[in-house]
Structure 1
Amino acid sequence: MNKEQTLSQSSSRVTYKELQQIIKMGLVQGNLIPAFAGSWLAIVLANHSFLSSIPQIIMMLLGSTLIMGGACALNNYYDQDIDSIMPSKQKRPTVNDRISDRNLLILSFGMMLIGEALLFALNIPSGVIGLLGIVGYVSFYSIWAKRHTVWNTVIGSFPGAVPPLIGWTAIEGHLSVTAIALFLVVFCWQPVHFYALAIKRQDEYSLANIPMLPSVKGFNRTRVSMFIWLVFLLPLPLLFRDLGITFMILATLLNLGWLYMGLTSFKKGTDNTKWATKMFIYSLNYLVVFFVLTVIVSLIEMF
């Protein structure tokens, strides 16, 4: 592609579909589920009025969407060099010159500033937690950990687990045991989810020289690490005593199902890629089912 073609593509308007790729809308939407669950549980467990809390929920969801989307856009800006090497990233607007660096940075910082303004308008704790999430994701994960250590996924799990904290503090203005429990669930969920994805894309990460655990340590070490995180996840439902015994039992069964699936990788003749795909799909369903359960069970408890 010559320079004139590149300039012509960059100057044309970015489509909505391309914008979704830039801000990683799929990832953002996934994180809005625990964010909403955090706010919902704060309303139910602290006996707030749902109707009077709707403006706070809307501001929290909008602010969270903006800071996460802005941080993801900045991540795409910084990762252009490695994304251009990885085959699965070739359709990203940041790789095929569909958006200029200048416009990308304006979009990123604009979204994060507006998002933070909304969260701080709710209360200081929500704004501070949102800011910590941005700094953790962009600086500690994207710029440093992702390219320098096999612990990158675990380090990235800290900022990735802040959405339920934002949701809770948006309503309550302070943290609680339940809010921390939600954080721990998302934190322990992430390594298993992203290691499964990294196994599927092991060759790509090796090509881009990104030290993901499967690329550096291999499948055997990765499946052991995934199993350990599943074990950490197992007792966490006990922290949700306020939701009652029914929730604790259902959440534990959900964890046991995932733990069993993790154990199947130790069978002889296991197809690594197929197993990783099943683990990845289970992880997607796990996040939705777990947080939907928190909403449904809390509703039942109300009546």
Structure 2
Amino acid sequence: MNNDHSSSGDRMQSRTASGLSGFLTNVKYLLKGKVLVANVLPVFTAFWLALYFSGEDFSSHFGTFLLTMIGSTLIIAGALMFNNWYEADLDKKMDRTQNRPTVTGAFTLTAVFRSAVITTILGFGIMLFTTVEAALYSFLGWFFYVVLYTFWSKRKYTINTIIGSISGAFTPLIGWAAVAPANHIVPVMLFYLLFIWQVPHTLAIAIRRLDDYTRAGVPMLPVVSGVPMTIRQMLIYIIALLPFPFVLLPSMGLIFFIVTLGLTAGWIILAFRGIKTMDTVLWARMNLRYSLIYLIITLLVMILVTI
């Protein structure tokens, strides 16, 4: 997942802020604040759902909950820092990443690399106190994002979007496996949701920031194959979300089904408009916002219907 670039005022603030507030601002940009939250939320959702479907009480698993949330957050943060460290040269060429401390020089690359290593090791160490399965999914998510996405495919292949999406899809498996084995239809479908959802979400960013990716030489799909082809691919992936509410209807109930199906139908309608639109940047911005609304509401509804 990627978050959009901030305003020029935010960038100037990042460059000039000092003291504790400046440090925290730089940390936020380093960890891609919204991206971190968007990856941690599925961990929490799946943990909650695992307790519900296992008939377990939250209070009796509070210690495991803290370990899971802290450990997974550190691992995700470590992966994001590795990404910023490795892509500092690309970020300097893109308007949307000018506020990152690896670009402004607020943090040295050596400091970012060491922080990434330490944070990742701490995260894995903590996750090992939950379950081996949860630690394994944490490693797989980290490996796909850092090694296969950041180090290998990002600069070479359009399939980088798919690989990055696989990485993010492991997050609900982490949360569920901390409570019970993830061989249940709910975590499997959450993996499916996160994988499919991230593709049109990321491609919407790539269309909106096409000039950035072109200038940096990143082979995103709209750079290599054009915007019309990318829009058609996005539509296919959004349509692929349709089975999600149907498969989980017996487990999650009618309210979940109606809300999720309605959200999916709305996104499909919006995606179809992209085929004939003349303003692809505006359309991409609308899709980006809708994708975030779709994910947040879907996960929150899954929590609310199981309270």
What TM-score do you get using the length of structure 2 for normalisation? 0.90
How far residue 245 of structure 1 moved from its aligned partner, in angstroms, is 2.8
CA deviation map 1:234-266 (0-9, x unaligned): 111122121123322221111111111111112
Q: 1:42 is matched with which residue?
A: 50
Please state how far the C-alpha of 1:101 moved relative to its aligned partner. Answer: 2.2
Residue in structure 1 matching 2:110, options 102, 107, 117: 102
Counterpart contact for 1:123–1:173, Cα < 8 Å: no
Query: Which residue of structure 1 lines up, in the alignment, with residue 5 of structure 2?
Result: none
The counterpart of 1:158, out of the listed 155, 166, 170, is 166
Pick aligned residue for 2:61 from 34, 53, 62: 53
Query: For residue 248 of structure 1, what is the aligned residue in structure 2?
Result: 257
1:236 pairs with one of 232, 244, 258? 244
Write out per-residue CA displacement over residues 89-145 of structure 1, whole angstroms, 9 at most, x where no aligned residue.
222110122112221112101111111111111010011110111111011101111
1:261 aligns with 2:270: yes
The separation in 2 between residues aligned to 1:295 and 1:253, in whole angstroms, is 18
In structure 2, which of residues 17, 32, 39 is the aligned counterpart of residue 24 of structure 1?
A: 32
Offset, 1:52: 1.1
Task: Describe how 1:108-257 pairs up with structure 2 within 5 A.
Answer: 108-240=116-248, 241-257=250-266
Distance 1:129 1:148 in 2: 26
Q: Deviations over 1:22-68 (max 9, x none)?
A: 12222011111111110111011110011112222221111111000
User: Quick check: 171-180 or 213-222, which moved more?
Assistant: 171-180
Count of aligned pairs between the two proteins? 288
Structure 2 spans left out of the alignment, 5+ residues: 1-15
Could you list the runs of 4 or more consecutive aligned residues of structure 1 that deviate by over 4 angstroms after TM superposition? none
Distance 1:246 1:75 in 2: 39
Write the mapping of 1:264-303 to structure 2, written as runs, cut at 5 A.
264-267=273-276, 269-299=277-307
Letter in 1 for 2:163: I
How many angstroms apart in 2 are the aligned matches of 1:187 and 1:111?
Answer: 25
Instruction: Give the whole-Å Cα distance in 1 for the aligned partners of 2:182 and 2:217.
Output: 41
Deviation of the 1:270 alpha carbon = 3.1
After alignment, is 93-102 or 134-143 more displaced? 93-102
Give distance in 1, aligned partners of 2:84 and 2:259.
38
Structure 1 residues without counterparts, runs of 5 or longer: 1-8
Q: Which amino acid aligns with 1:139?
A: V
C-alpha distance in 2 between matches for 1:230 and 1:203: 24
